[in-house]
């Protein structure tokens, strides 16, 4: 081959390879260039989203930074936190943005609408505010919108109908308002629609009946009205429908809902529904949970209910108007765990077929007209013995009668609560009761039981409540009963025929809060062990017995007792000065004894006393003037003693309807008494005339006084019987031992402890600074370090105020300061910080609103017992600040984020940056100071008088505490969008109190406690809690409850309602 030919061939080869490489480069450029451009567009959208986020405490967006056009793996936006690119056809395009539970604050940028391949947007459980961007309608590929658990406001955009592929629209737990857009029914792929816990109004759109793929329909806790559209009967794929707590929804339950053959969960409780319960509901064989409670519904339970609901696990039809019988077929519903039919008009016997419910855990049939007349009817007890998981049995307030059969002890040994009060049961309490080793509450009050108290009850070591009052039980109290039941919090043996002396072993009952032994025939002296039980916080009643001797001086150890009744015995001697130590006392009854001497002046310390009866004794001396200074005293009976001299005219003595002094040798007083005038030299003349005059006056006002006394007694017993179910809050874990001495720390040590105050250790940002988590020294002690932002106006004053307050206080429920640091940082700038003990469970806000929390606080909710315990801890800290220091301290900024929780869920109040000392604590104006010093506080918690330039005071703290208490049990912030146009969290609860108190209660709390308490018990407990909260948030400072009173009442709630 010639050279020319060779060159041609070589040129051809080179040219072919050149063309091949060129073609490859062109093809590669064609593919890469759009990816770069598209990725750049997605990047700009994400960076714009980041720019709209004002708070990122976890630094999840820290790595989101411009890639400057790079497309290598290291810089690809698909590697950013929360970003996914899962499309194979369109590599590098963002298909999902998932940033759940990161505590992000700010607004949602409309720029996200530029993520044109986005199919999943999940920003749930953050603190995002603002409205839902209208531009989301441009995301035609969008399938999932999950924005639940934020603070979004505004309306649901109607333009979301353009998202034709939408399968999930989750907007629950926000502040959305307006109506549910009817045109969303055009999103035919929708499977989940959840707008629960918002403030939506209007009706349920009938057009939603066309969403044939809808599986979950959540409308719970809104303000919806109208009725349930019959068109929803077309939702053939529906698995769950929750329209509960739309209190004005109203209307009937459509019969066509019975066509929902796949329905698993149906909850319509507290929805204002009326009419008859459609029989068709009981034919939905797929139902697992059915809750129709607290509606104006009527009807009967179908005879074949157990056959037509074979999968039912929870059946709640309480507080309705059910009639008829409980069908025997209920025994066929073998998966049933909870059966609550209480507060209806059911009649007849309880079919023994319930014994076939092997998984039954809770049976509540109280407040009906059920009966067991004959021995064969009591086969129920034999049958229930087959329910091996039963832990709560409530049959109170029915018509059960006859002898309690031996089969009663056939109940499962694991049963924890038995309530059979207010029936007609006779016979004796079987000694075999001791086999129920796990029994915690036994309530058999107001029956006709006889015999003695079995010794075997002493073996029930877990028992916390025993009530057999109102029976015919005789004999003595077994000494081992009180010696062994050391967990007992409630013991009521009143209104029986018990006799003998009180065992000294009562001293072992270190948890007893209520003790009632009244109306028996106990004799001997009152053991000092009984009146030494400092755990007695609510009620001690030993009245109407035959006790003799003097009142033991050890009674002064009952420092938290609210009610003491020793009346109608044979007690003698003088009234002990030790009673003055019972500064929580509200009701004191000593009448009908043989007490002598004068009323001790020291009783003037009982500032909270409301009712005092010392009548029918042998007391003498002048009527004490200090009684007129007890501002809460509204009933006073000193009649039939040997008092003489003038009757005061101030205070309680200013109203003749509130006190009684008949049968004494007294003079003066208000004119209505028509007593003789007092002479300077002779106050004892014409005794017969005085006695007659007083007697006439006594007859005139006697009826009124009797009414007042009955009111006092009613209040006492209402408190005593807050619930027959007495539960005790257990705090067994010890609080970790804290450092006892202040230590000196330098800036360098704090810098080292926090890794240079890194963002990873930032745990909170406040008005005047930031809080970091740190580890000190070689010991590895975890601390919280509050670094002041000295550029912020007021930060310096806040630091000084907090140092001054913390320098002089020490209490188990206040956050302990380890040291303060005031120096210069490495740049020579002023540096100020406070170092506290670290609270691993963070602040209360993270727990009250768990859907927007993170970590442990988002994994579970606070139980009722924990909430009451925390409320008590906070109240104890306030009581200490206000009344137990060298000068009262007003916190001025009590709110949920300033309540911190340690490892044992014990609450500690912190952040004293706005606190103020109040000087002159003994004067009438001692508890106040001017607000001109610039009190700020937090919107929603500031008492109304501060906003009008009123004085700061301990009552202002009580108001903030009341708001916090309302928030704790409603799970609504005081700034909730619901509270507009003059509405407030106080008026919200007040409007529901007392008849509709459960409407205001946090529904998640109600649902959680359904396994621990029956509905009636929880309602009674919530009544007590909200009563305290409403009294604390009265508009007038003087009308607000004292902290010690709040402590006493909440302690009673804890002891009565804790599981």
Active site (catalytic) residues = 893
**β-strand partners of 985:** none
Closest by CA position to 913, among listed 1048, 996, 783, 820: 820
Alpha carbons 302 and 286: distance in angstroms, whole number: 17
Report yes or no: 95 and 84 within 8 Å, Cβ to Cβ. yes
Residue 4 structure tokens: 């020319």
In sequence order, which residues have a C-beta less than 8 Å from that of residue 752 and are 6 or more positions away?
A: none
User: In a 3-state reduction of DSSP, which class is residue 193?
Assistant: strand
Q: What is the CA radius of gyration of the chain?
A: 35
User: In a 3-state reduction of DSSP, which class is residue 1037?
Assistant: helix
Using alpha carbons only, give the angle 441, 443, 445 rounded to the nearest 5 degrees: 160
In sequence order, which residues have a C-beta less than 8 Å from that of residue 316 and are 6 or more positions away?
A: 269, 290, 291, 292, 293, 338, 340, 1010
Alpha carbons 1005 and 288: distance in angstroms, whole number: 21
User: In a 3-state reduction of DSSP, which class is residue 130?
Assistant: coil
Report yes or no: 550 and 572 within 8 Å, Cβ to Cβ. yes
CB atoms within 10 A of CB 734: 8
- Is 70 labelled as part of a ligand binding site? no
Number of helices (H) and strands (E) in the chain: give both, helices first: 17, 55
Alpha carbons 964 and 393: distance in angstroms, whole number: 34
Report yes or no: 840 and 903 within 8 Å, Cβ to Cβ. yes
Report yes or no: 787 and 811 within 8 Å, Cβ to Cβ. no
Buried/exposed 742-769: b ≥16 CB within 10 Å, e otherwise: eeebeeebbbebbeebeeebbbeebebb
In sequence order, which residues have a C-beta less than 8 Å from that of residue 741 and are 6 or more positions away?
A: none
In sequence order, which residues have a C-beta less than 8 Å from that of residue 660 and are 6 or more positions away?
A: 615, 636, 637, 638, 639, 698, 701, 702, 705
Alpha carbons 17 and 4: distance in angstroms, whole number: 20
Is the bond into 235 cis (omega within 30 degrees of 0)?
A: no
- Strand 424-426 to 399-403 pairing: parallel
| Angle, in degrees to the nearest 10, between helices 864-883 and 954-970 | 180
Using alpha carbons only, give the angle 1043, 1046, 1052 rounded to the nearest 5 degrees: 145
- Strand 96-98 to 83-84 pairing: antiparallel
In sequence order, which residues have a C-beta less than 8 Å from that of residue 367 and are 6 or more positions away?
A: 342, 343, 344, 396, 397, 398, 1016
Report yes or no: 352 and 327 within 8 Å, Cβ to Cβ. no
End-to-end C-alpha distance for the chain, whole angstroms: 104
Closest by CA position to 207, among listed 192, 223, 194, 188: 188
- Note the Cα 331 to chain centre separation in Å: 35
DSSP symbols for 773-837: EEEETTTTEEEEEEEE-TTSTTHHHHHHHHHHHHHT---TTBPPEEEEEEEE-TTS-EEEEEEEE
Residue 225 structure tokens: 């009205």
Closest by CA position to 342, among listed 413, 293, 286, 283: 293
- Strand 314-316 to 216-218 pairing: unpaired
Report yes or no: 223 and 199 within 8 Å, Cβ to Cβ. yes
For the annotated binding site for ATP, the residues are 786
């Amino acid at each position: 081959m010639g050279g020319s030919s060779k060159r041609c061939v070589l040129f051809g080869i080179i040219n072919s390879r050149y063309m091949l490489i060129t073609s490859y480069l062109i093809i590669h450029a064609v593919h890469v260039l759009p990816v770069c451009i598209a990725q750049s567009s997605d990047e700009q959208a994400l960076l714009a989203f980041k720019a709209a986020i004002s708070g990122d405490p976890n630094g999840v967006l820290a790595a989101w930074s411009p890639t400057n056009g790079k497309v290598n793996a290291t810089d690809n936006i698909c590697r950013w936190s929360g970003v996914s690119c899962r499309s194979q056809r369109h590599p590098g395009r963002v298909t999902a943005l998932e940033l759940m539970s990161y505590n992000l604050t700010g607004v949602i940028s409309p720029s996200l609408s530029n993520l044109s391949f986005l199919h999943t947007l999940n920003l749930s459980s953050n603190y995002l505010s603002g409205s839902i961007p209208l531009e989301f309608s441009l995301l035609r590929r969008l399938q999932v919108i999950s924005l639940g658990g934020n603070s979004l406001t505004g309306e649901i955009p109607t333009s979301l109908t353009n998202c034709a592929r939408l399968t999930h629209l989750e907007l629950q737990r926000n502040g959305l308002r307006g109506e549910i857009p009817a045109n969303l029914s055009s999103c035919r792929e929708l499977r989940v629609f959840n707008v629960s816990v918002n403030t939506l109004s209007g009706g349920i759109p009938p057009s939603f009946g066309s969403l044939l793929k809808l599986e979950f329909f959540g409308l719970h806790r809104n303000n919806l009205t109208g009725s349930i559209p019959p068109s929803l009967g077309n939702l053939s794929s529906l698995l769950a429908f929750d329209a509960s707590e739309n209190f004005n929804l109203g209307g009937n339950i459509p019969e066509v809902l019975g066509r929902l053959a796949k329905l698993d969960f149906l909850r319509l409780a507290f929805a204002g529904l009326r009419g008859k319960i459609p029989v068709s509901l009981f034919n939905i064989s797929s139902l697992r949970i059915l809750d129709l409670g607290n509606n104006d519904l009527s009807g009967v339970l179908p005879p074949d209910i157990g056959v037509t609901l074979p999968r039912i696990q929870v059946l709640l039809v309480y507080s309705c108007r059910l009639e008829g019988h409980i069908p025997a077929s209920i025994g066929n519903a073998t998966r049933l765990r909870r059966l609550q039919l209480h507060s209806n008009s059911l009649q007849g016997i309880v079919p023994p077929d319930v014994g076939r419910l092997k998984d039954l855990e809770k049976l509540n049939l109280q407040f009906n007209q059920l009966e067991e007349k004959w021995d064969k009817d009591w086969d129920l007890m034999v049958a229930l013995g087959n329910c091996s998981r039963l832990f709560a049995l409530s049959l109170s307030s029915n018509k059960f009668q006859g002898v309690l059969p031996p089969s009663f002890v056939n109940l499962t040994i694991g049963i924890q609560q038995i309530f059979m009060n207010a029936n007609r049961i006779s016979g004796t309490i079987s000694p075999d009761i001791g086999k129920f080793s796990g029994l915690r509450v036994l309530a058999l009050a107001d029956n006709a039981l006889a015999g003695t108290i079995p010794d075997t009850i002493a073996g029930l070591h877990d028992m916390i409540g025993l009530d057999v009052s109102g029976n015919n039980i005789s004999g003595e109290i077994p000494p081992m009963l009180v010696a062994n039941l050391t967990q007992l919090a409630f013991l009521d043996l009143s209104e029986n025929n018990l006799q003998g002396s009180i065992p000294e072993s009562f001293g072992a009952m270190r948890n007893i809060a209520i003790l009632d032994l009244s109306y028996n025939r106990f004799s001997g002296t009152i053991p000092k062990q009984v009146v030494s039980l400092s755990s007695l916080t609510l009620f001690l009643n030993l009245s109407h017995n035959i006790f003799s001797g003097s009142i033991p001086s050890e009674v002064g150890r009952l420092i938290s007792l609210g009610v003491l009744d020793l009346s109608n015995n044979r007690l003698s001697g003088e009234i002990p000065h030790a009673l003055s130590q019972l500064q929580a006392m509200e009701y004191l009854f000593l009448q009908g004894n043989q007490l002598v001497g004068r009323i001790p002046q020291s009783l003037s310390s009982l500032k909270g006393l409301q009712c005092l009866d010392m009548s029918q004794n042998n007391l003498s001396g002048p009527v004490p003037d200090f009684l007129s200074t007890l501002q809460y005293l509204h009933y006073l009976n000193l009649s039939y003693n040997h008092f003489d001299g003038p009757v005061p005219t101030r205070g309680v003595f200013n109203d003749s309807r509130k006190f009684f002094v008949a049968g004494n040798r007294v003079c003066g007083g208000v004119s209505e008494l028509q007593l003789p005038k007092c002479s300077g030299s002779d106050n004892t003349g014409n005794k017969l005339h005085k006695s007659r005059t007083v007697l006439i006056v006594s007859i005139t006002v006697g009826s009124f006084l009797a009414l007042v006394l009955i009111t006092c007694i009613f209040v006492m017993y209402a408190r005593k019987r807050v619930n027959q179910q007495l539960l005790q809050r257990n705090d067994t874990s010890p609080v970790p031992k804290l450092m006892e001495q202040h230590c000196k720390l330098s800036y360098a040590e704090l810098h080292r402890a926090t890794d240079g105050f890194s963002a990873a250790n930032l745990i909170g940002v406040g008005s005047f600074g930031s809080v970091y988590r740190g580890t000190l020294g070689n010991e590895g002690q975890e601390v919280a370090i509050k670094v002041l932002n000295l550029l912020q106006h007021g930060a310096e004053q806040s630091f000084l105020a907090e140092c001054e307050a913390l320098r002089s206080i020490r209490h188990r429920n206040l956050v302990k300061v380890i040291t303060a640091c005031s120096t210069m940082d490495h740049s020579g700038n002023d540096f100020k910080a406070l170092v506290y003990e670290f609270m691993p469970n963070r602040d209360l806000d993270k727990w009250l609103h768990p859907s927007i929390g993170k970590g442990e606080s988002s994994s579970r909710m606070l139980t009722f017992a924990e909430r009451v315990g925390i409320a008590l801890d906070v109240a104890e800290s306030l009581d200490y600040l206000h009344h137990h220091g060298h000068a009262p301290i007003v916190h001025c900024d009590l709110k949920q984020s300033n309540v911190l929780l340690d490892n044992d869920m014990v609450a500690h109040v912190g952040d004293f940056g706005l606190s103020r000392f109040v000087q002159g604590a003994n004067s009438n104006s001692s508890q106040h100071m001017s607000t001109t010093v610039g009190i700020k506080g937090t919107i929603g918690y500031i008492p109304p008088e501060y906003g009008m330039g009123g004085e700061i005071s301990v009552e202002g703290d009580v108001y903030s505490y009341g708001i916090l208490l309302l928030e704790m049990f409603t799970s609504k912030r005081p700034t909730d969008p619901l509270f507009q146009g003059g509405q407030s969290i106080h008026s919200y609860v007040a409007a529901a109190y007392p008849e509709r108190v459960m409407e205001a209660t946090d529904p998640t709390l109600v649902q959680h406690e359904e396994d621990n308490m029956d509905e009636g018990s929880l309602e009674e407990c919530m009544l007590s809690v909200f009563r305290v909260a409403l009294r604390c948030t009265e508009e007038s400072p003087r009308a607000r409850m004292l902290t010690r009173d709040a402590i006493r009442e909440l302690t009673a709630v804890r002891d009565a309602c804790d599981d």
